[in-house]
Amino acid sequence: MNSSLIFFLIIKILTCNTSCFQINESKPVRNYWGFYAHRLINKSAVFLLPPEMFGFYKKNIRYIEENAVNPDARRYIIREEAPRHYIDLDVYGEHPFDSLPKYWKEAVEKYGLDTLNNYGIVPWHIHTMKFRLTEAFKRKDTEYILKMSTEIGHYIADANVPLHTTENYNGQLTNQVGIHGLWESRLPEMFAPHYNLFMNKAKYLENTQLEAWNAVRNANMALDSVLKFEREATQKIGIDKKYSFEEGKHQRVYSKDFCKVYHKMLNGMVERRMRASIKMVADFWFTSWVDAGQPDLNLLLDPNFSEEQFQQMQIERKRDAQSKKVNSRQHETVPID
């Protein structure tokens, strides 16, 4: 990404305080659940925890919410980071769920590390993160618990997004460029305030690796509709009304009228995927805690982060996001607060 583009993105985000849902038709983009959605998902999961966990998580809810986008920022400094956010199922043939081994070791034996990393590893990485979170609870390491809880929330949320399960992640293969940001940033920012995000309390998961695959499978099942309804909404509203310019934004965006039509056609899909994400995050936190022997979280050291520390985290996030050490796979979105 060239420096003028980075500058442009910084200015854009600072001025509109929102994530990147603008459309850039010149290059394919690999965005992720927008920052707004990632933060909302992590924050909402806290309220599904049992009383033994709720106090600790509620006390640290600002950390869990604000740092929800850290893994995206890290893509620019760590080469291994990008594939943890997606899996391109379509490259594994017509029946990817039959072809792909559910467990990492067998998957490496069958396809090799290079292939797996080339096409994304999100379901396996969620399982790795679950192991780390369980270890953090066993060690009663407050900061590690918070970091792992926050970041597993990110990967789980990504695994629930249909466009994170395909090579056509931004509609670039079907002449629908921009659809990624539309689905996971523009729509949640417009409509999530009206979603019902109240759910049953967290439950114990017998097999977290298979749960990760269930999420990917459910997300992938919705993929055809994501693409099909975007085409139908375009036809219905007309290409001339599909985009608009909004105050404070430097590029055209999907128009509100188009978004309303598309969102209605999706018939609650974004809300369902968001609810599934939130529930799954809470379930994984709870399961990790149980597997660690249910340590008393009231006895943990209170990190009591100061305002200065939160500001420092934000500075580091921006620094990571603006780094150009790693030329991440056609990413153009820079996660900056």
- Residues near Zn ion (CB under 5 A): 32, 72, 85, 158
Cβ-based nearer residue to Zn ion, 35 or 213:
35
DSSP H helical segments within 222-328, as ranges? 223-237, 256-266, 269-291, 307-322
Q: How far apart are CA 98 and CA 311, in angstroms?
A: 46
CB of 295 vs Zn ion, minimal distance in Å: 29
- Closest to 285 in 3D by CA, of 174, 175, 211: 211
CB of 117 to Zn ion, least distance (A): 15
Q: Least CB distance from residue 154 to Zn ion, whole Å?
A: 6
* Residue with Cβ nearer Zn ion (242 or 335): 335
Beta-bridge mates of residue 254: 243
Give the closest residue to 84 by CA, choosing from 12, 158, 16: 158
Q: Residue 132 CB, nearest distance to Zn ion (Å)? A: 17
- The span from the CA of 93 to the CA of 76, in Å, is 30
DSSP 96: H
- Residues in contact with 8: Cβ distance below 8 Å, sequence separation at least 6, in sequence order: 250
Nearer residue to Zn ion within complex by CB, 49 or 152: 152
Closest to Zn ion by CB, 72 or 230:
72
Smallest distance from Zn ion to CB 122, Å: 9
CB of 32 to Zn ion, least distance (A): 4
* Backbone phi and psi for residue 171, each to the nearest 5 degrees, phi listed first: 70, 15
Beta bridge partners, 244, equal 253
For residue 75, count other CB atoms closer than 10 A to its CB: 26
Nearer to Zn ion, 151 or 291 (CB): 151
The nearer residue to Zn ion, 45 or 300, going by C-beta atoms, is 45
Q: Looking at beta carbons, which residue is closest to Zn ion? A: 32
